[in-house]
Amino acid sequence: MDIQSIKNRFGIIGNAPALNYALQVAVQVAGTDLTVLINGESGVGKEVFSQIIHALSARKHNPFIAVNCGAIPEGTIDSELFGHEKGSFTGAADARKGYFETVNGGTIFLDEIGELPLGTQARLLRVLESGEFIRVGSSKVQKTDVRVIAATNKDLLQLVQSGKFREDLYYRLSTVPIRVPALHDRPEDIHILFRKFAADFATRYRTSSVQLDEEAKQLLIQYPWPGNVRELKNIAEQISVLAQDKLINARELGKYLQPYSTNRMPVLAHPNGQGSEFANEREILYKLFFDMKKDVTELKRMFLEVLQNPGMVAQSQSMINELRESESFRINTADNLVNLPAAGPLNITPMQPAIANNQPVLMNNNDIHAHVEVEESLNIMDKEKELIIKALKKHKSKRKDAAMDLGISERTLYRKLKEYDIEEL
C-alpha cells in the first residue's frame, strides 16, 4: 500500500518530507513484530501511527488497545496492565485480568511511556524479553503474545540519565524509532490542514466555510503552534463558529491565536543554555526558599540599621517597597515566612521617643533580636504540601488544573496527595 492510500484511509493530511518519511517507516515495520517507539510533541497524532502499524500487521484482526500511562494512578497501574488476584490488595474483591492478558495476540499502545513507575518498567521489560508476566498478588507465571507500541513526548534518554527511566527498557522499546514531526516543522501543511478543518466544521454546522486572506495565511504559518494539530483544529472550529465575516484577515485571526507557555514554575536557565538548572520540582522549591531566606536576612539587617540610625527611615521605606515587589515575595508562600507592613511609613513605636529627642538609644543583642527576629520555617516537605493545598483550593479541587499550575504531572500530584495524606478539599 502506497503512502497516499495510507493518508486517505487514516485521514492524514500533508506532504511534508518528515511526515512522509515517518509514514514510510511505519508501513515498513508494520509487517514485523518489532517493538516501536513513537516520539513527538503532544498533539501531533502519535496514536494514529500506532493504529496504522496495527492495521497493516498480521495482528489486524486481533484486539488493539491504547493505554495512557500518565492517566493511571501509580498504585493501580500494575493491576491495569498485568491483572491481580482476589484479595491481593484492599478493594480487590475479585480476580481481574490485565491488558496483557486480554489483548493476547493483539497490540498494546502505551502512550506517555515516560510516566511509568520504575517498578512497572521492570515488569514491562520482562514481558518484552520473554513474553512472561505475573498478576499482582500471584506467584504463577503466565505467557502472552502481545506487540508493544510505545509513545512519548519526553526525551527518554534524558530521563535515563536522571535515573527516572530504565536504560535497558529504553533500548528494548526503541528497536524501531519513529519521529512524528511537529506542526511548526511542517509549515507547508498548516494552511492545508486549516482549510480541511474549516470545511469539515462548515459541513457539520451547515454554514459556509471560512477563508483566510494572504496576511492571515502568513500569520497562521508563522504562529509556533505549541499544541500542534490539535490546537490548529480547535482554532479552526472557534473561527467557524464565532467569526461574523467568512473572510478572515490577520487582525481577526490574531484574536484567536493566544500566547502559550508551559513554564509555570520559577526555573532559572543554565548559563550555557544547556537546559534547566533544576532536575525536579523539589530542587525548584529549594531554590525558592533559599532566595526567600536571603530576603528575610536582608530585611533583618535593614531594620537593625534603621533602629541604630533614625535618618535612614525614609531610605529604608523605599527599600521595603522594593522588597515588596521582589519576585520571591510575590509568591504566596512568602506570606508564611514574613509579613511586611502595609504600604505607608515605617512604624517603630518603641524607639520613636528617644529618636525624636536625639537621645542615645541603648540596647543589647537580646533587645535587637527581640525586635527583628522573624519566625520562619524552611521545611521543604511542609512547604511542598502547602503549595499543593493552595493549588487545589485555587482550582476548586480540580487535579488536572492544579497539577498544571504546579508544573507537575497529574500522576505525580496524585502520588503527593497520598504521600502527604491530603484529603479532597
What does the domain layout of the chain look like in residue ranges? Answer: 3-181, 184-254, 281-372, 380-419
pTM: 0.60
The fold of 3-181 is: Rossmann fold (3.40.50)
Q: What is the pLDDT of residues 78-123, one digit of tens each?
A: 999 999 998 888 777 888 899 999 999 999 999 999 999 999 999 9
User: One fold for both 184-254 and 380-419?
Assistant: no
Q: Is the pLDDT reported for residue 371 higher than 60? A: no
The fold of 380-419 is: Arc Repressor Mutant, subunit A (1.10.10)
Contact 16, 192 (CB under 8 A): no
Q: Is the pLDDT reported for residue 130 higher than 90? A: yes
What cell was used for 136? 499482582
CA 45/CA 36 separation, integer angstroms: 15
CA 155/CA 41 separation, integer angstroms: 10
Contact 66, 47 (CB under 8 A): yes
- Binning pLDDT at 50, 70 and 90, where does residue 311 land? low
HSE value, Cβ hemisphere, 13 Å, CA-based, for 201: 22
- All residues at 6 or more sequence positions from 134 whose CB lies less than 8 Å from its CB, including other chains: 82, 123, 140, 141, 142
Which has the higher per-residue pLDDT, 303 or 332? 303
| Total residues found in the chain within this entry | 425
3-state DSSP assignment of residue 153: coil
Determine the residue type at 213. D
**Dihedral, CA of residue 323, residue 327, residue 329 and residue 334, to nearest 10:** -160
Q: Is the pLDDT reported for residue 323 higher than 60? A: no
Mean pLDDT over 2-19 rounds to 92
Phi and psi of 395, rounded to 5°? -100, 20
Q: Worst-scoring range by mean pLDDT, 128-137, 262-271, 288-297?
A: 262-271
Q: Is the pLDDT reported for residue 332 higher than 50? A: no
Determine the residue type at 240. S
Tell me the average pLDDT of the chain: 80
CA 381/CA 384 separation, integer angstroms: 5
CATH ID of 184-254, from 1.10.8.60, 3.30.70.20, 3.40.250.10, 2.40.110.20: 1.10.8.60
Q: What is the pLDDT of residues 143-202, one digit of tens each?
A: 999 999 999 999 999 999 999 999 999 999 999 999 999 999 999 999 999 999 999 999
The secondary structure element, H or E, covering residue 86 is none
CA 418/CA 420 separation, integer angstroms: 6
Is 358 exposed, middle or buried, given 0-12, 13-18 or 19+ CB atoms closer than 10 A?
Answer: exposed
**Per-residue model confidence (pLDDT) at position 258:** 74
**Per-residue model confidence (pLDDT) at position 414:** 78
**Per-residue model confidence (pLDDT) at position 28:** 95
3-state DSSP assignment of residue 8: helix
